Structure 1
C-alpha cells in the first residue's frame, strides 16, 4: 500500500482523485471527437425546425398561474369527497337518536341537511371543473 501526503486544501478540493492525462491521450480523444463535430452539418439538412408559437411572458405566466390556482385545492377536494360518506353516515345515525328521543323535527332537519351536504360535496369536483372551463373561456 502506498502512502500519499497532501495538504488539506488539495484533499478538500478533490484534486487527488482526478487523473492527469498525457498529451497522447488527449490527441486520441480529440481524434475520436472530430467526426462527431461534423454531425451537426449533416443532421441540419434532415431535421425539421419546430413550429414557434409566439407568446409573451405574461401569457405564459398567467397560464401557469391559472393552472396552479385551478389545481391548488385538488388534494382538499379529494379528501372531502373521500370522507363525506363516513361523516354523513355518522350524522344520520345521530339523527336517528333524535328520533328515539322524541325530537323528530330536529331529526328530519339533520337528515335533510346531511343529505344536501353529502350531495354537494360529491358534486363539487364537477362544479369546480365547470368554473374552470368558464374562467378559461373568458
Structure 2
C-alpha cells in the first residue's frame, strides 16, 4: 500500500564517496554577503538547550517509576501488615504461657522476637521507599 514501484537511481556509491572535483563551482560574492548578513539572525533564532531541563525530565521519570514500584507492591505490604497483627498476638500469648510455666528465658526470647518482627513489618513501607530512592540514583 505504501510501497512505490518506481526505482530511482541517483548515482553510484563510488560517485558518492569520491565526488568529481573537475568542475569548479562558480564563485559569486552576492550569496556570500547575504549569508554573512543573515548569520547573526540564524544564530539568535536557534533554540537554546539547558542541562537543567534534561535533568528535570529524567528526575521526573525516575520519580514516576519509583511511585509505580511503590504502588505495585502496596497490596503485598498491606497483606503482610494485616497478617502481622494476629501473628504477633499469638506469639505474645505463647510467650505469656511460657512465662506462666516458668520457662522465662524462652518467653523473653519470644517477646523480643515478636516485638522486633512487628516493628520491622510495620516499617516495611518506609524501608521499601528507602530502597527505591537509593536505587533510583543508579
TM superposition score normalised by structure 2: 0.49
**Higher normalized contact order (CA 8 Å, seq sep 6+, divided by chain length):** 2
TM superposition score normalised by structure 1: 0.49
Larger radius of gyration: 2
